[in-house]
Amino acid sequence: MTGVEDHEVIDNVVFIHEPRLKASNKLELWFNAYIVSREGWFRKLVEWADVVYIPRYAYPVIPRVKELGRRVIVHLHDYQPISYTSIIFHGDDFKSDFTCTFHYELHQHGLVKALVASPLTPINRLAREWVSRADAVVCVSNRQCEIMRERMPEIRGKSVVIYNPLPDVSPVRKELGDDKVLLYLGSSSFVKGFHLVLRVANELLGKYRDLRILMTKIKGYRSLPSNCVALGELPYQDVVKLHSRVYALPFPSMWEEPLPYVVLESMLMGTIPIAARTGGVPEVVVGSPAEDYLFTPGNVDELIDKIETVLTQSRDYLLDVGAKLKEHVLKLFSTEYVENRIVGLFESASS
């Protein structure tokens, strides 16, 4: 059941289009999901099913499903049950979700949004209550699971870690030119570390005249350093093509990203991710050359040092490292292994 009308067609899958599940924000979605869960056709659907699987935020259906005696699997891709904004900052020392939400909204969307959103944080206790009633909770990295278990101990005995399957990425032929090109894909987002990339660009401006930092999803932003190129929104295949001439991908995220696809895709395409040591990143790169390019989150000096290390390497070195990164990630994320874990979880839930 989905709110998306133009969905992917999958063999042996019947889609039920429910437009109320395509909401503009999670509060609207929660309200709509609750209403849907009380309708007769939904009851019949649940009674027909063995397991109800919830991959996103439609948590209000959980109590209804449990009332009807069916099992529920929730798949978490962020921290929604324990954070109103769904994120946890690295080194989070906020005393309450209220202060964390205010800090996030202030830097991400401005003062007005911070003043509006912060008072709503108590509502998020409902998400915790709903998810706590699930029979199994899937996390996508060990770090995400560790944080969830620490802050929500009631799921400790029913939470499991299953990596997401690898993205379907077309092969990329590396053709590194004379210009030293970096690729930043985090838009102008504060939590993605855009402000740190700007500091890096200014620091390296006079030192590397052949350095270019390509930035996607950036438009209308004034006063970019001259070595930054704003590319705006690009089709996914165009982003893939950019990797052919990219030396490295800065990933200065400020939050505990569970399993960032940007890092996985970078490795698959033979581009060194220069990533903050946060969230699921360390467990993805451990044992690979990318481990040497991790840096302390928020530390601009370390980030610059790692970038300069890449910029001073030979093309042969970069190509060799790129091949090793691809080999590493393909071994770590075996599609067959991930599929077997998911199937096994459903079989155990329905037995």
Residue 94 confidence (pLDDT):
84
DSSP state for residue 8 in the 8-state scheme: P
Residue 294 confidence (pLDDT):
98
CA distance 325 to 164: 18
**Cα–Cα nearest to 22, from 9, 33, 37:** 33
Task: Say whether pLDDT at 222 is over 90.
Answer: no
- Once rounded to an integer, what is the mean pLDDT over residues 168-185? 88
User: What is the side-by-side strand order in the sheet with 51-54?
Assistant: 51-54, 71-75, 136-139, 159-161
For residues 132 and 85, the answer to whether their CB atoms sit within 8 Å is no
Residue 102 confidence (pLDDT):
95
Residue 88's CB is within 10 A of a number of other CB atoms, namely 24
DSSP state for residue 85 in the 8-state scheme: T
Calculate Rg over the CA atoms of the chain: 22
Is 82 in a helix, a strand, or coil? helix
The residue ranking higher by pLDDT, 170 or 151, is: 151
Task: Say whether pLDDT at 219 is over 80.
Answer: no
Distance of alpha carbon 233 from the chain centroid: 18
Spatial neighbors of 265 by CB under 8 A, at least 6 apart, are 167, 169
Intrachain domains 19-163+338-350 and 180-328 with the same fold = yes
The per-residue pLDDT for range 272-325, each reduced to its tens digit, is 999 999 999 999 999 999 999 999 999 999 999 999 999 999 999 999 999 999
For residues 214 and 181, the answer to whether their CB atoms sit within 8 Å is yes
Residue 8 confidence (pLDDT):
83
| Per-residue exposure over 213-250, b if at least 16 CB sit within 10 Å of its own CB, e if not | bbbbbbeeeeeeeebbeebeeeeeeebbebbbbbbbbb
Average pLDDT, the chain: 93
For the chain, the structural domain boundaries read 19-163+338-350, 180-328
57-61, 62-66, 189-193, 328-332: which has the minimum mean pLDDT?
328-332
Residue 170 confidence (pLDDT):
77
Task: Say whether pLDDT at 351 is over 80.
Answer: no
Residue 326 confidence (pLDDT):
93
The per-residue pLDDT for range 94-113, each reduced to its tens digit, is 889 999 999 999 999 999 99
Task: Say whether pLDDT at 350 is over 90.
Answer: no
The per-residue pLDDT for range 112-164, each reduced to its tens digit, is 999 999 999 999 999 999 999 999 999 999 999 999 999 999 999 999 999 98
CATH class label, 180-328: alpha beta
pLDDT bin (cut points 50, 70, 90) of residue 349 is confident
CA distance 134 to 157: 11
Residue 64 confidence (pLDDT):
97
Residue 221 confidence (pLDDT):
76
The residue ranking higher by pLDDT, 170 or 164, is: 164
CA distance 176 to 187: 24
Residue 141 confidence (pLDDT):
96
CA distance 204 to 306: 12
CA distance 249 to 38: 47
Residue 223 confidence (pLDDT):
83
Q: Is domain 19-163+338-350 in CATH 3.40.50, yes or no?
A: yes
The per-residue pLDDT for range 254-278, each reduced to its tens digit, is 999 999 999 999 999 999 999 999 9
